[in-house]
Each structure stands twice: as structure tokens, then as C-alpha cells.
Structure 1
Amino acid sequence: MAENKIFIFDTTLRDGEQVPGCKLNTNEKVELALELESLGVDIIEAGFPISSPGDYESVNQISKSIKDATICALSRAVQKDIEVAAEALRYAKRPRIHTGIGTSDFHIKSKFNSTREEILERAVQCVKWARRFTDDVEFYAEDAGRTENEYLAKVIEAVIAAGATTVNIPDTTGYCLPHQYGEKIAYLVNNVKNIDNAIISCHCHNDLGLATANSIAGVINGARQIECTINGLGERAGNTSLEEVVMVLKQHKNLGYFTDVKSQKLNPISRLVSETMRMPVQPNKAIVGANAFSHSSGIHQDGFLKDAQTYEIINPEEVGAEQSKIILTARSGRSALAYRFQKMGFQFTRNDVDSLYDSFLKVADAKKEVKEEDLLELANQYQKETVSVA
């Protein structure tokens, strides 16, 4: 059963923090790291120590505070980066150094003005440097999504031989389609002779809106770690959304995979990250958006009120969300109107609701949403008219 566990590598504090305006101070990072550990993530990428004194201090303080999760620090394939990362991690109970280099021809030629042979040498060397400080070394092949598979397999085999225990296959630009990313992972599984000595990790970006789909395709084809962020925060269009991949795996039990994430904590931590990083969550965001469990169409509302499973595949309580909401608009039907009146304490008959419905639609046409105060006014006016007629 353990071989079917998917490790959740959270990079909210590193890749997520790279969103403009989302910079965190050390105290905020420590607070969020503690919440991530409580959530049940396996690895927390705490920062990029060489990048600034503040990031170094954050990794250092998080290393002191976290007891169970692995603490990871990012570095480039540069000896000084790796030494600083190791120093920042010195108090961590489970330290991991995450090092690597770009492997696509775009990176090799344009970014490094180098050759495939030289990049392969640098990849092996950075892993060897990192292994001097810890047995837990993750190698990233940046822009693996656009790296030719045969060369990628050659690099991955070499870094595993050098001591990498996790190999990260990033779709750095969010370019891949799910079947392409899945096939890339499968190619590595089938063509890297020492692949069983390392865990394959998915790190997908959302430039084409495919990060979650690509990560799941990676898992189906042999990856056992997903790198993700709360609310899908990250560079450009963001990273894989933690809450999405966790719930995809939980809902699709037939896939046979599981995580240790406590799903009831997903909405609370989503709100905390949103507030701390000053980045609102879009209302229609899956799992944690304000409208994720709201129903406004009359057809949907009627079905939901008869059986919630007609339009909800997740119980809101399962992800720590507030109860489902019936939102009244001009698209709402009589059953939704009757439900809302009942929730307010009115005992209207079916005939009463039929009589109220035309008045309701007039209000609904004039407003985007009919609020409780509007319903109260409608109900009071109707009761006065009913008494007057009697």
C-alpha cells in the first residue's frame, strides 16, 4: 500500500512567494510552514537561501520549527548556492537540498550558451556537491517539459547514479498536454535503468491551465511526488494547485493512490494563505473558491435540493468549506425560493410560493442577486396583503 502513496511537496513558500506582491517575512513564513505541517504535506520547500538574507533566515527558522515534514531548500547548480542551502538547513530534522539545471535546448543554448555534454557534467557535479551535506538530494531538470526525452533520460540516469534520491521533471513553461507529460514520465520509467533508486516528481506550471491534469497524468504513469502550492500560487499563471490534486486523488479512489493531506483543513489554509500573501482567491476556483459550493441555476438548485450528489461530487465539510449555498437570481426556480424562505423561518405553502414568485422575479431582474433582506421585504409585503384580503 505504501508504494501507492503520493508525496505532497509544497512550494507555496518558495515558488508561490514569487508572485508579485506576495513577499512574506520570516514570521509569516514560519506561521504558514507550521500550518502546512499540520495539513499533512510531506515536504515543505522553505525558500532559496542564496537569494537574500531574508530567505536564508526564513529557511533557518523554519528548520528549527518543523518536527515532522522534510524541509527543502532550493539552489542552482552552483557550489556556493549548495553550501549556503546546507548551512540554512543545519537545524532541520529532515533536510533536503533541491538543486539542478535547465536541460532543454532553449536553456542550454540561449540561457547557458553551453552544450548538452557540459550541462550533463554540471548536473552530476551539483548532485555530488549536495550529497556532501545530506542523503536527501532532489535534482530538477528545468524545462524538462520541452527537453528531448532521450537526452532527459540520460541526464536523469546520471544524476541518480551520482546520488539524487528524487528527480524533478518540471513542465516549467506549462507547455505540455497531459498525454505528452504522462508519456514523458513513462519514458523515464521504461528507459532509465536505475529509476527505481529515486522518486519521480511532477512540477507543473499552469500557463495553459493544465497543471493539475499534467500532474495527475504524471502520477498515473509512475511519478510518486507532486510539487504544488496552496491556491495554485506561483510564477506567471501559477503552479499546480495542492487542493486540486489532493481531491482528484481522493475522489478517484479507483486510481489507487492516496496522500496524507487532511482535506478538512484545505479551505482554512487557503483563506490563511490568501490573507497572509494578500492574494484573493478567484470565486470560481475549484475546491476553495467562494462559489465552489454555490448553486444559482434553477435546474441545478432543484436537483441539488432533491439530492446534493446530483450537482456536488464533494461534501463541503470534507474540505472544510461552509455549507452549500442556494444563491437566488433570475435563473432560480420556485423550489429554491421555497427553500430560502423556509430557512428564514417562513412556512409558506406551495400556493404561497407561486404567488410570491412573480414578485421575486421582478426583484431578481433588477438585481444580480436577491439577498435575505429582499426576501424579508417580499414576505412581509405578501403577509400584509394576505391579511388585508382576509
Structure 2
Amino acid sequence: MLKNIEGRQNIPVMDVLEPQLYRDVFPYEEIPKIRFNNAFVPYNLPETIWITDTTFRDGQQSMASFSVDQIVRLFKLIHKLDNGEGVIRQSEFFLYSEKDREAVRKCQELGYEFPEITSWIRADERDFKLVKEMNIAETGMLMSCSDYHIFKKLKMTRSEAMQHYLTLAMKAMEAGIKPRCHLEDITRADFYGFVVPFVKNLKRLSQETGISVKIRACDTLGVGVPYNGTELPRSVPGIVSELRNGCGLRPEEIEWHGHNDYHNVVTTSTASWLHGGASVNAALLGIGERTGNCPLEAMLFEYAQLKGSLGKVNLPVLNEIVRFFKEELSYTVDPKRPFVGSEFNMTKAGIHADGLLKDESIYNSFDTNKLLNRPVVVKVNQSSGAAGIAAWINTYYHLDTLEKVDKHDPRIATVKRWVDNTYEAGRTEAVSNAEMEQQVKKAFTTGIHQFSLVK
């Protein structure tokens, strides 16, 4: 049994009379500022990196509550997507209500290795009982670290906040639970005045108990920046490298949790990997508070680019996940959202369609049909021209190299005249697939039997 926190020789935080709010960086009446110190932080990509999922915790908070059945079915899809690879290593769940606990039990009964089920609890030792009863090895606990939160929300001093957090971490460790400490608002915190001594004390507890502690660095307002040579508290390279080198954390003890308030959530998450953290926290389709969490599907593609391969990860399952969100959760995915939107690989410009006719790789950076089961899509409008119409026929009817129609085919000109006439008559919306089918059948009076449509 460890002695009480009050009796321990802890590394002291730097107590201050007034909160450090970095008003030069966060003036509030203006857009936040990025300060540069030109200190280059070397890349230090861990040998093994992975993704953790927060769809059922932070993600679910932004939507209507999921039913038990919906949680279980979505958990199965995440498992199917990972396909035993362990890239999507963990998924976190609430434990508050009986419904939450029922969902966890049903997911546990599936017996999956990946993703491992973890929990999230309030910073309240009474919640440890729930974690133990559910036989969960790791739990997240909220430990806000900026003076915005410590002074203004918790109404504590820094020393009082650290003592409270360390007591909770110790209680968790004594119960045999691995604490995942959510350092909320780290990108507005006094890093050397509070974060470093606090994390070092957590590390000491970990060494004394033999139970690893995980630090989740939370960019709560999405103000973190991925650029090298930037100053703390906003610098992601600075935060992660100091957690690793200055606080003695191992890569597997560092996790990044970002938000997308400034359109940086993917790049800050990748920067965390690049500078020494093993895991990044994400949610399917980026669902989450305000502008959302890091999209899990985006980090799969970042992982593939950094590591060269996704192994057994089953990317086409993303299509099933999108259908689930649409049909089960009434969630609309932006058509242009990368990798999952209905139009992410659609072209409407005639010059792009002309390139696709010559070689698909000209305007498609990877084989979306092979890797995602999403063939290139062409939409016909007033700008498509003959090339766009020919490309629509070739992609819509899945014609192979020998069957493909050339833009100079006189039958294409017939379809083009109809398209041109409709727009000259005042049409504004794109031509539907049904209309195109009808016009193609009229123009291709011979050889139409070759078009065996595969939907």
C-alpha cells in the first residue's frame, strides 16, 4: 500500500497567485496567435504506433444517445475494419448508466482482442468500483491542467489540483487499474509550471506500483499547432517531445486527443506520432463536440503513409460504417468528405474527365476501387464535355480497357448535344444517372448489349 499523497515528497508545481492565461497568445477579443521560437524538435516516430477510438465516448456526446444494439453493431464494424491487425487498438466507453454497462458487457462477450475495451470515468474514486466490477483494465480520468480550468472551473490552486489528481491516480493503481490521465486543455497550460512536475509525479507512482500510467494530452479547444519551431503551450512537437524526453514517458504512455476547431486535427495528431507518441485518439467520421474529434478513417490513411502498409486492415468496411451512420443514426456525411463521402473521388470538370480517360491515375492518387471498393465517379454537367460523357459511360458501366468508349465516338456527340441543349434551356443541376442511362440507350442503338450495368 502506498502512503497518502500528503506524506509523499512530490515534485512541487509552480504555484501562482493569478492564473497564467497566456493573453498574448489567446487575447480572446482576437484570433489566437502563433508564436515562433525556431527551436527544431527532431522527428522521433515510434516503431509501433496505433489508433484508439472514442466514438462511444467523446463522439457519442455530440449526437443522440446510441442504443445498446447500435453500440454493439458499430463495435463489430470497428473490429471488422481493424481485421485483427491491432492498428485500432482500443475503444473507450462510458459506464454511468445501466444501458452503458449493458453495452459494454455485450461487447465484452464478443471476445475480441482488438479493439480492447477501456472506460472513461469522472475524477471521482467512487467510479473505480464500476471499473473493477466491469473487469476493465484501463480507465480514463479527467485531470484538467490549464489555469483556465484549475482556477476558473475547479476553483483550486495548482498544488490542490495536483494533489487531488495524484490521489485519484493512486487509488486507481491500488485497485489494479491502469489510469489514463486526460490532461484536458494542455495546449493552454503552463507546461513547465504544472504539466511537467505533475507528469513526473505520476511517473513516480507508476514506477512504485509497477502499473503503467498513460498520459492523454488533450487539445480541448483545437488550438494546438503541428509546426516545428513554435512555442509552448500550442506546440504539439514541443508538448510530445517534452513528455517523452523531459518527463521520461515511453511512447506507449503518450496519447494525443485533438479537436478540429482550427482545421488542424489530422496534422496535430500526425505530429504527435512523428515526435514520439505511440497513439492518437480518434472517432469514426470525426464525430465529437463542436467541430469534432480526429476522424479515425483519416488516421488510417496517415498510418499507411507513415508505415507503408495497413496490413490486414479492411478499408472497404468504411462503406458499411457510412451506411450505418446514415440509416441507423440519421447522420449525414458531407459528400466531399475524404475517403467516405459519396463524391470524394467524383469529377465534374471536363478537363479532369479527359485525364481519367487517358489514365485514371492522372486524377486519382490511388486505386480507390481496389482499396476502398469505390470506383472513380464522373458526374455530367454543363462543363463535362465529350470527355466527361465518355468517362461517365466507362466508369458507370465498369467497362474494361477493350470496351471503353472514346470521346471522339460520334455517338458521344449525340449525347453531348442533348446535354448542351438542356443547359441552354436553363438547367442548373447536374444530370442524373437515370437521365444519362436513357440518353446512352438512345444514342448507342448498336452495341448497347455490351453495357451490362453493375450497380
Query: TM-score when scaled to structure 2?
Result: 0.75
Counterpart among 136, 143, 150 of residue 101 in structure 1 = 143
Count of residues paired in the alignment: 373
Distance in 1 between residues matched to 2:202 and 2:311, nearest whole Å: 27
What's 1:231 paired with? 285
Instruction: Name the CA shift for 1:236/1:325 in 2 (closer, same or farther; >3 Å).
Output: same
What's 1:272 paired with? 324
Q: Could you tell me how far 1:311 is from its partner in structure 2? A: 1.9
Is the CA contact 1:37–1:66 (under 8 Å) kept in the aligned structure 2?
A: no
The structure richer in helix per residue is 1
SS in 1 for 2:56: coil
Kindly provide the CA deviation profile for residues 295-327 of structure 1, in whole angstroms up to 9, marking residues without a partner as x: 111122112222222222232245534311111
SS in 2 for 1:9: strand
Is the CA contact 2:411–2:444 (under 8 Å) kept in the aligned structure 1?
A: no
What's 1:353 paired with? 412
Distance in 2 between residues matched to 1:183 and 1:222, nearest whole Å: 10
What's 1:213 paired with? 267
What's 1:338 paired with? 390
Q: Could you tell me how far 1:268 is from its partner in structure 2? A: 1.9
Counterpart among 38, 47, 62 of residue 4 in structure 1 = 47
What's 2:246 paired with? 191
Q: Could you tell me how far 1:189 is from its partner in structure 2? A: 2.1
Map 1:94-243 → 2, pairs under 5 A: 95-150=137-192, 151-163=194-206, 164-179=212-227, 180-192=235-247, 194-196=248-250, 198-243=252-297
Is the CA contact 2:187–2:224 (under 8 Å) kept in the aligned structure 1?
A: yes
Instruction: Using the TM superposition, name which of 118-127 and 157-166 deviates more.
Output: 157-166
Q: Supply the AA of the counterpart residue of 1:202.
A: W
Q: Could you tell me how far 1:252 is from its partner in structure 2? A: 4.3
Is the CA contact 2:56–2:93 (under 8 Å) kept in the aligned structure 1?
A: yes
Are 2:113 and 1:68 equivalent residues in the alignment?
yes
Q: Supply the AA of the counterpart residue of 1:375.
A: M
Is the CA contact 2:356–2:391 (under 8 Å) kept in the aligned structure 1?
A: no
Q: Supply the AA of the counterpart residue of 2:435.
A: D
Kindly provide the CA deviation profile for residues 336-363 of structure 1, in whole angstroms up to 9, marking residues without a partner as x: 2123345669978534434543432232
Distance in 2 between residues matched to 1:168 and 1:380, nearest whole Å: 59
Is the CA contact 1:127–1:159 (under 8 Å) kept in the aligned structure 2?
A: yes
Is the CA contact 1:100–1:126 (under 8 Å) kept in the aligned structure 2?
A: no
What's 2:66 paired with? 24
Is the CA contact 1:160–1:198 (under 8 Å) kept in the aligned structure 2?
A: no
Q: Could you tell me how far 1:364 is from its partner in structure 2? A: 4.3
Q: Could you tell me how far 1:36 is from its partner in structure 2? A: 1.6
Kindly provide the CA deviation profile for residues 217-257 of structure 1, in whole angstroms up to 9, marking residues without a partner as x: 1111111101101110111111000000111221344xx78
What's 1:57 paired with? 102
What's 2:7 paired with? none
Instruction: Name the CA shift for 1:75/1:368 in 2 (closer, same or farther; >3 Å).
Output: same
Instruction: Name the CA shift for 1:100/1:331 in 2 (closer, same or farther; >3 Å).
Output: same
Is the CA contact 2:46–2:276 (under 8 Å) kept in the aligned structure 1?
A: no
Q: Could you tell me how far 1:380 is from its partner in structure 2? A: 5.9
Kindly provide the CA deviation profile for residues 148-187 of structure 1, in whole angstroms up to 9, marking residues without a partner as x: 2212122222222222432100101112222222222122
Instruction: Name the CA shift for 1:258/1:380 in 2 (closer, same or farther; >3 Å).
Output: closer
What's 1:388 paired with? none
Task: Give the gaps of 5 or more residues in structure 1.
Answer: 385-390
Distance in 1 between residues matched to 2:292 and 2:111, nearest whole Å: 26
Is the CA contact 1:246–1:259 (under 8 Å) kept in the aligned structure 2?
A: no
Q: Could you tell me how far 1:126 is from its partner in structure 2? A: 1.6
Q: Could you tell me how far 1:281 is from its partner in structure 2? A: 0.9
Distance in 2 between residues matched to 1:259 and 1:347, nearest whole Å: 36
Are 2:124 and 1:78 equivalent residues in the alignment?
yes
Are 2:404 and 1:372 equivalent residues in the alignment?
no
What's 1:250 paired with? 304
Kindly provide the CA deviation profile for residues 131-161 of structure 1, in whole angstroms up to 9, marking residues without a partner as x: 2333533111111121122121222222222
Instruction: Using the TM superposition, name which of 233-242 and 271-280 deviates more.
Output: 271-280
SS in 1 for 2:293: coil
Instruction: Using the TM superposition, name which of 232-241 and 145-154 deviates more.
Output: 145-154
Distance in 1 between residues matched to 2:181 and 2:281, nearest whole Å: 13
Instruction: Using the TM superposition, name which of 181-190 and 238-247 deviates more.
Output: 181-190
RMSD: 2.6
Distance in 2 between residues matched to 1:247 and 1:283, nearest whole Å: 18
Instruction: Name the CA shift for 1:258/1:216 in 2 (closer, same or farther; >3 Å).
Output: farther
Kindly provide the CA deviation profile for residues 40-90 of structure 1, in whole angstroms up to 9, marking residues without a partner as x: 22101122x13x232233233323334313211101221012222332x22
